[in-house]
Chain A
Amino acid sequence: MHQNDQPAIRITGLGKSFTLHNQGAAVVPVFADVSLEVRSGECVVLAGASGMGKSTLLRSIYANYLPCAGSVEISHDSQFVDITRAPPHLVLDVRRRTMGYVSQFLRVIPRIPTLALVMEPLLENGVDAAEARERAETILTKLNLPSTLWQLPPATFSGGEQQRVNIARVMVREYPVLLLDEPTASLDAANRGTVVALMNEARARGTAMVGIFHDEIVREQVATRLFDVARHRAAA
């Protein structure tokens, strides 16, 4: 066990720009010199206007984007792993056991029933099928997804239903680190409330969270701190 004062996420001097090779090697600078520590039980909300780089920062923490400078260390098995330099198998292990990511949109193999999609992250972690099924059903019930939909693939679901499947796939596990990109954007008030409650339960358990929430009400209900990405805007 690591000490309570060791952060779950430690970002140091992080910088990101995109080089568009097929557009005359144009460089799109996003942010520079971002440093941020997130501890267990905190929920840091990324703020800044559209296009300032909130999603880019979140994706860089998940190693979905490759930063140009700095490091992102994640506490994994009580040791820091620099996700920007770790070999692929270690990044995948961190994602499997330590760090979950709720993306803005669902992206899954087509034609797989919803229940199977939600069980998958558990099966990947060696949970047996019966228990995985029970836990998947519990989270889908909590998220008010009608059980008539469980055996159907989510392709034909409404935007809000798909988003709840997306949240269920991540929240069915108890990751120590959770990243969320607008998880409530397409939800109605009641479902938004459920997701807020789930996030606060996770935080109470000690999950370290970084999220993007445009909705003021949601932000006030979950944030322990704001981090303004716009203040780290890189010069063009």
Chain B
Amino acid sequence: MTQVQSDGPLLSVKSLHHYFGPLAACRNVSFELRRGEILGIVGESGSGKTTLLRCLSGQLAPTSGEVLFASRRHGLTDIFALSEQDRRRISREEWGYVHQNPRDGLRMRVSGGANVAEPMMMNGTRHYGQMRALSLDWFARVELDTARIDNKPRTFSGGMQQRLQIARNLIHGPSLVFMDEPTGGLDVSVQARLLDLMRALVRDMGLAAIIVTHDIGVARLLADRLLVMKSGDVVEHGLTDQVLDDPQHGYTQLLVSSVLQI
């Protein structure tokens, strides 16, 4: 295993571009992320947030630019210079990806407990008792009723499904988690609990996270830093409270002024 410097960047993105035909979905994106940091990506619909997240998480090869990740196995490497197999392995072992719609991130045909245990199984755990114990532990950590562990996800509410998805994406101890609108379709009060839960988990596990959201309130409470996107460009990037309280770019000023202050 290659030793990774713990104070260096976990993720380093250099001049990333992605084009769909003539359309520039992401243009010249560069930033670094460290362990324990939460980066928020905000911007209007169609500004390229999901496209960027898919490039960063190895699902979509950028048209140009680099995505360097400090992997436990390979050290700091451009993930797109690795083989498909190595990239999949990093994704399985070292990342989590929480989808906006829990149905895209869960297996609806197997039980809640199996959904949570599966990532461990894919990473080589075979011991049933061990898996069961860890699944129960994670049910409790995301505040799901452990009595429901054998129920199918479709019998869970939207907020419960989202917590299940979060457990499934954290159980294997990733160092980086991607989240696309994780509190999207949820009731405001459920959102608040979930936000607090995610903050505590990130703090306790020392994770880094990249969270796409259109909700400025969510960004303010969850993210350390913000990247503001407009038509594929990053128009502003800085400390969350600075970007929201003293926005420098006209688009960010518009975005912030159109939101009710909390």
Contact = CB atoms under 8 A, between A and B. Distances in A.
B12 to A, nearest CB: 13
A64 B245 contact: yes
29 contacts: A20-B253, A21-B249, A21-B250, A22-B250, A22-B254, A59-B245, A64-B242, A64-B245, A64-B246, A65-B242, A65-B246, A66-B238, A66-B242, A66-B246, A66-B248, A88-B37, A88-B238, A88-B239, A89-B37, A91-B239, A107-B262, A109-B195, A109-B196, A110-B192, A111-B189, A111-B193, A111-B196, A112-B192, A112-B196
B221 interface: yes
Contact of B224 (A19, A59, A92, A112): A92
B203 interface: yes
A112 B188 CA distance: 13
Given A64-B245, A107-B262, 6 more contacts: A19-B248, A22-B250, A59-B245, A63-B242, A64-B242, A64-B246
A125 to B, nearest CB: 11
A109 B221 CA distance: 6
A65 B244 CA distance: 10
A124 B203 contact: yes
B92 interface: no
Interface residues of A, number: 21
Contacts of B14: none
Contacts of B245: 59, 64-65
Given A59-B245, A64-B242, A65-B245, A88 B224 contact: yes
Interface string B205-217: 0000000000000
A20 B199 CA distance: 33
Contacts of B192: 109-112
